């Protein structure tokens, strides 16, 4: 195996920290929009760490694709799977960890895959996006109705079986990559999937052990951080160890490759998070624990959050529109870095607002996000990975998968011998 140097290893870890922090924040908002925002942050961190001049012009499109991919998995239900991990018998607990591997794997597979396809897209070998979207849509529908509706295979009963849609979508995406020989994008998808899957299962292991040991910390947040960290590590590893085309020709910004991704990434995703979390939910009770007029404070928080994300979105989208009219159409490191700083910072600001952490220190993990943010911003400029070209070898992927399955079995044995009956435990197989 080719050696990974120190700079590359540290770059991979920093990318993992970026997605981990964003994914932990995502736990406060949930659903597709929260996952999409986190995915966009993870993608931007990898692009900045890569420091490839020819990637800056496609950075917004790549980040939006990563956001859509990671966000797509937000439809999956996994709460009951976490409950299986709190059981007392091997089969149910192992099933829970393995199922979380599937869910986390689908997050990373689709998110990493779409991100990789944008990086692979070039004039000599263009990605037919209309074909990708069509095939992924059809694949999701066919797989879901065949596996879930016809064969009756259910992974998360009685909850939603939307994992089936995501699985079909991911399989269709991999088929497109294999058919068009987009092996670099496939490597990003596979490693992001393996990382995300292991991270979710390992996070559940930490979650249960932390609860058993009465660790005075939000262990659910630790589980989310684990998913994001290993998913980000996998996505960065796949990116930094793959062969990518270098675009020498001048890049022309258009509505489809800049304005639409810019609006989606910087306006629509934050808007839906704001609308669903600050408007559709009443968080006055949270604020009421610290202030005497929670309704007035809630209104103020709603307006400030709106002004922050809306102001930044208008600024960046206006800048992008100006770029379209310039002869020298070029983004640089500094511009993408500023997008990353403001985009990531706004997400942290949102979670500080929604939890009332600006009024109290009762949620210590909220301030650890800020610490992570500072560390990430400090180290991104300092490291540059050495890109290497490794082949897409299915045997390697299979071996990694089998190793993970063995590790999950070991983690299961540790869990079932670490505690007795726990609250919120579930059984998938009642006959055991």
pLDDT single digits (tens) 335-352: 999 999 999 999 999 999
Span 311-326, average pLDDT:
81
Kindly list the domain boundaries of the chain, sorted by start residue: 6-127+182-416
Higher pLDDT, 348 or 280: 348
State the pLDDT confidence band at 121, using cuts at 50, 70 and 90: very high
State the pLDDT confidence band at 391, using cuts at 50, 70 and 90: confident
Interatomic CA distance for residues 94 and 289, integer angstroms: 40
pLDDT single digits (tens) 52-62: 999 999 999 99
6, pLDDT greater than 70: yes
406, pLDDT greater than 50: yes
Q: Long-range contact list for 393-402, CB < 8 A, 24+ apart? A: 397/190, 397/194, 400/194, 401/194
319, pLDDT greater than 50: yes
1, pLDDT greater than 50: no
pLDDT single digits (tens) 43-93: 999 999 999 999 999 999 999 999 999 999 999 999 999 999 999 999 999
60-77 as b/e: b if 16+ CB within 10 A? bbbbbbbbbbbbbbbebe
**Mean pLDDT across the chain, nearest whole number?**
92
Q: Does residue 228 contact residue 17 with C-beta atoms inside 8 Å? A: no
What is the three-state SS of the chain?
CCCCCHHHHHHHHHHHHHHHHHHHHHCCCCHHHHHHHHHHHHHHHHHHHHCCHHHHHHHHHHHHHHHHHHHHHHHCCCHHHHHHCCCCCHHHHHHHHHHHHHHHHHHHHHHHHHHHHHHHCECCECCCHHHHHHHHHHHHHHHHHHHHHHCCCCCCCCCCCCHHHHHHHHHHHHHHHHHCCCHHHHHHHHHHHHHHHHHHHHHHHHHHHHHHCCCCCCHHHHHHHHHHHHHHHHHHHHHHCCCCCCCCCCCCCCHHHHHHHHHHHHHHHHHHHHHHHHHCCCCHHHHHCCCCCHHHHHHHHHHHHHHHHHHHHHHHHHHHHHHHCCCCCCCCHHHHHHHHHHHHHHHHHHHHHHCCCCCCCCCHHHHHHHHHHHHHHHHHHHCCCCCCCCCCCHHHHHHHHHHHHHHHHHHHHHHHCCCCCCCCCCCCCCCC
Q: pLDDT value at position 2?
A: 64
Q: pLDDT value at position 325?
A: 65
Token pair of 298, please? 């809630």
Q: pLDDT value at position 249?
A: 62
pLDDT single digits (tens) 173-225: 999 999 999 999 999 999 999 999 999 999 999 999 999 999 989 999 999 99
Q: Does residue 383 contact residue 49 with C-beta atoms inside 8 Å? A: yes
């Amino acid at each position: 195996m080719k050696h990974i140097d120190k700079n590359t290893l540290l770059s991979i870890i920093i990318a993992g920290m970026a997605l981990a922090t964003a994914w932990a924040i995502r736990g406060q908002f949930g659903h597709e929009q929260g996952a999409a925002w986190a995915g966009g942050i993870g993608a931007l961190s990898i692009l900045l760490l890569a420091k490839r001049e020819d990637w800056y012009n496609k950075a917004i499109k790549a980040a939006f694709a990563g956001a859509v991919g990671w966000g797509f998995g937000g439809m999956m239900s996994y709460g009951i799977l976490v409950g299986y991990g709190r059981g007392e018998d091997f089969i149910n607990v192992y099933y829970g960890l393995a199922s979380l591997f599937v869910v986390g794997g689908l997050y990373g597979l689709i998110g990493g895959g779409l991100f990789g396809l944008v990086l692979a897209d070039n004039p000599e070998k263009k990605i037919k996006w209309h074909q990708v979207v069509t095939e992924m849509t059809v694949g999701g529908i066919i797989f879901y109705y065949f596996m879930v509706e016809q064969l009756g295979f259910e992974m998360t009963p009685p909850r939603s079986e939307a994992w089936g849609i995501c699985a079909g979508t991911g399989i269709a995406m991999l088929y497109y990559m294999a058919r068009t020989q987009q092996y670099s994008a496939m490597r990003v998808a596979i490693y992001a999937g393996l990382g995300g899957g292991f991270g979710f299962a390992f996070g559940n292991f930490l979650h249960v052990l932390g609860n058993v040991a009465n660790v005075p910390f939000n262990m659910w947040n630790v589980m989310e951080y684990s998913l994001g960290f290993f998913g980000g590590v996998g996505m960065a590893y796949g990116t930094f160890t793959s062969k990518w085309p270098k675009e020498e020709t001048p890049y022309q910004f258009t509505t489809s490759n800049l304005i639409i991704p810019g609006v989606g990434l910087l306006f629509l995703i934050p808007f839906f998070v704001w609308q669903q979390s600050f408007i559709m939910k009443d968080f006055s009770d949270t604020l009421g624990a610290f202030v005497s007029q929670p309704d007035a404070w809630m209104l103020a928080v709603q307006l400030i959050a709106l002004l922050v994300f809306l102001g930044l979105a208008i600024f960046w989208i206006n800048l992008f529109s100006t770029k379209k009219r310039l002869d020298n159409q070029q983004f640089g490191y500094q511009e993408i870095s500023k997008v990353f700083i403001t985009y990531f910072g706004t997400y942290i600001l949102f979670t500080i607002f929604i939890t009332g952490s600006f009024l109290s220190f009762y949620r210590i993990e909220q301030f650890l996000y800020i610490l992570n943010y500072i560390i990430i911003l400090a180290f991104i400029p300092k490291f540059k990975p050495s890109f290497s070209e490794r082949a897409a070898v299915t045997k390697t992927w299979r071996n990694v998968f089998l190793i993970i399955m063995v590790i999950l079995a070991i983690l299961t044995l540790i869990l079932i011998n670490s505690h007795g009956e726990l609250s919120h435990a579930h059984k998938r197989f009642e006959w055991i």
